[in-house]
Amino acid sequence: MKQILDYMTWMFFTMLLCTASLSAQTDTAIPKLVHKNGRYTLLVDNRPFLILGGQCGNSSNWPAMLPGVWQVMQEMHANTLEIPVYWEQVEPREGEFDFSQVQLVLEQARQNNMRLIFLWFATWKNGSNHYMPEWMKLDARKYPNVVGKDGREVDSPTPHCEEAMLADAKAFANFMGYLKQADPQHTIIMVQVENEPGTWGSVRDYSKKAQKLFEAPIPPEILTETVCKELNVDKKSKGTWSEVFGERADEYFHAWHVARYINYVVQAGKKVYPLPMYVNVALRDPLTNPSADQYESGGATDNVISIWKAAAPDIDFVAPDIYLRDDEAVLKVIDLYARPDNALMVPETGRSTKFLYSVLAKGIGFSPFGVDQRRNASPDAVPSRSPLAAEYELLKPMGHLLAEWSAEGKIQAVVEPADHAEQHIDLGSWEAVIKFGGGRGNQPAVERRIADGKALIIRLGENEFMGIGTNCRFTFNPIGKNKGKAWQYLKVKEGLYDESGEFKTVRVLNGDQTDWGGPQIGETPVLLHFTLTTR
Ligand code: DGJ
């Protein structure tokens, strides 16, 4: 008997060990971006994944800072941390690499059940070279900056420096090689290459070397169909940059060369380990077509996305950092970057959650910037629950479904306009009417000071919808083939998705909760499941 027991114990532990070593080596599918019918899905572990992210501060990837980062990420219910990796830190001496800090982040991310997007702060960080290693900064002749029109150096590395490009590509390839062997579990789901590349303070490089290139004929491969269409250029055009592109030639030239440079770096990294890679963008005002000296020239601003696509086919997408405040401008940016040839992801934004649903309806992810930088907080203060935490808590368990529905074009979102006017969403034989302000039935809405309401609707079937909202009220109108018919709710369920991804009904709304103009939602986001019927 004892022998049998010993044998069973031995078997049990052997099986346990096998399972443990299997899971330690888990070699899941590499994250990838898939494209169908003009929309994108990020697949993580082969499943649609919605990035509910947070980006830490620029100087937070240090051992002493990480506990605060994880704490706030947990409080936020985020699923992905965007965190920088500094070239100056990983290659302190030329050709000597140290990825110990990367390893630390990786281990802690797993302990915190968080996915990672590493931000490769290298040649460009907000248009400057500040994260180049010291051995490069000390050799300004070899690694020069842009020269402005007035002949003076600008605080921005030139994209015409092959030595810098090769050095960046080499370091990046080493970094990606490290990630490949250190992360068979795919904790890291994407990499941002550079940070807001381009140049502030000069539209392009006016050095001798750059000038010569500028006065040479354009590279023929720039004239893709999209470039010709969007920039209104004849496909057969030949000539110098100015001859082909006229008054915006300086900016297009700079964008082309910045994008070529980064594409080279991306190629080098992808050859080693092909994770999805993107480049973030310091935006220009999308409504007024300002001249290029008003914003960071050379980055993938909305007017040069087609040039970036032509110059940098290996970059998966360009991603807008949204710090604009004006509703119209923000909604325009969302439209301009959610293109059939570009996945929408917002890697940086302010604290407002107003446009969260508008981004999720069309994109693969959302991430506010500087989440661990709590202004005026005493070190031991208990952080108050942020509005974003309530949003992420509701959305996270249904993230894969939202990613799927977004890719299928089933989600539509609206935000409360400044005049609080109700918004309409066409759902085929129904229209959702979203009201803001909190008025009861036909009574006038109570004027609220800030227009921060928002809602999204998911079309699950002809008469079946899901809605999520804050500071709004949902109701419906029969339209299309239902037009003119009487109707009523069949059922309105308030609920949420649990950790296993199942919808759980919290309560059925009826009576006062639906009779006076539809269910009303306050500051805290609520998920509603509607079935409607005509009579
Ligand atoms: C945009 C940059 O990409 C970030 O790294 C950071 O510098 C923020 N601006 C600061 O607001």
What one-character-per-residue DSSP string does 141-209 give?
Answer: TTSPEEE-TTS-EEEEE-TT-HHHHHHHHHHHHHHHHHHHHH-TT--EEEEEEEES-SBSS-SS--SHH
Side chain identity at residue 300, one-letter code: A
Backbone angles phi, psi at 114, to 5 degrees: -120, 140
pLDDT digits (tens, 9 = 90+) for 103-147: 999 999 999 999 999 999 999 999 999 999 999 999 999 999 999
Residues 434-449 have a mean pLDDT of 63
pLDDT band at 28 (very low <50, low <70, confident <90, very high): confident
Residue 411 has pLDDT above 70, yes or no: yes
Higher pLDDT, 385 or 204: 204
pLDDT, residue 533, reads 98
Model confidence at 381, pLDDT cuts 50, 70, 90, reads: very low
The whole-number pLDDT of residue 17 equals 40
Nearest residue (by CA) to ligand 1, atom 5, is: 58
Does residue 18 surpass a pLDDT of 50? no
pLDDT at 22: 39
* Overall average pLDDT of the 352-379 stretch: 87
Structure tokens at 204: 């392009």
Q: What pLDDT, on the 0 to 100 scale, is given for residue 449? A: 67
How close is the Cα of 184 to the center of ligand 1, in Å? Answer: 30
Q: State in Å: Cα 63 to ligand 1 middle.
A: 21
Cα-based angle 219, 222, 226 (whole degrees, multiple of 5): 165
Model confidence at 467: pLDDT above 90: yes
Question: How much is the pTM?
Answer: 0.93
pLDDT digits (tens, 9 = 90+) for 306-349: 999 999 999 999 999 999 999 999 999 999 999 999 999 999 99
Q: Which residues line ligand 1 (CB under 6 A)?
A: 58, 126, 195-196, 321, 348, 369
Furthest C-alpha separation in the chain: 93
* Cβ(521)–Cβ(470) below 8 Å: yes
- At 156 the pLDDT is 98
In this structure, the number of other CB atoms found within 10 A of the CB of residue 495 comes to: 17
Which contacts qualify for 218-225: CB closer than 8 Å, 24 or more apart? 218/244, 218/245, 219/256, 221/310, 222/256, 222/307, 222/310, 222/311, 223/310, 224/306, 224/309, 224/310
Q: Calculate how far, in angstroms, residue 299's C-alpha sits from the geometric centre of ligand 1.
A: 14
pLDDT of residue 306: 98
Q: Is residue 439 very low, low, confident or very high in pLDDT (cuts 50, 70, 90)?
A: low
Supply the mean pLDDT for the chain: 93
Which pLDDT value is given to residue 7?
A: 41
Secondary structure of residue 494 in the 3-state scheme: strand
Q: How confident is the model at residue 491 (pLDDT cuts 50, 70, 90)?
A: very high
CA distances (Å), origin 127, targets 25, 132, 174, 199, 202 = 40, 12, 23, 5, 11
126 CA to centre of ligand 1 in angstroms: 7
Q: What's the CA-to-centroid distance between 9 and ligand 1, angstroms?
A: 56
Give Cα 271 distance to the centre of its chain.
Answer: 24
The full DSSP string for 415-464 is E--TT---EEEE-SSEEEEEE-S---TTSPPPPPSS---EEEEEEEETTE
pLDDT in tens, 158-192: 999 999 999 999 999 999 999 999 999 999 999 99
Rounded Cα gap, residues 346 and 368, in angstroms = 8
174 closest CA partner among 92, 110, 107: 92
Closest atom of ligand 1 to 119 CA is 5
**Site to substitute for ligand 1 among 59, 195, 295, 352, most atoms within 8 A of C-beta:** 195
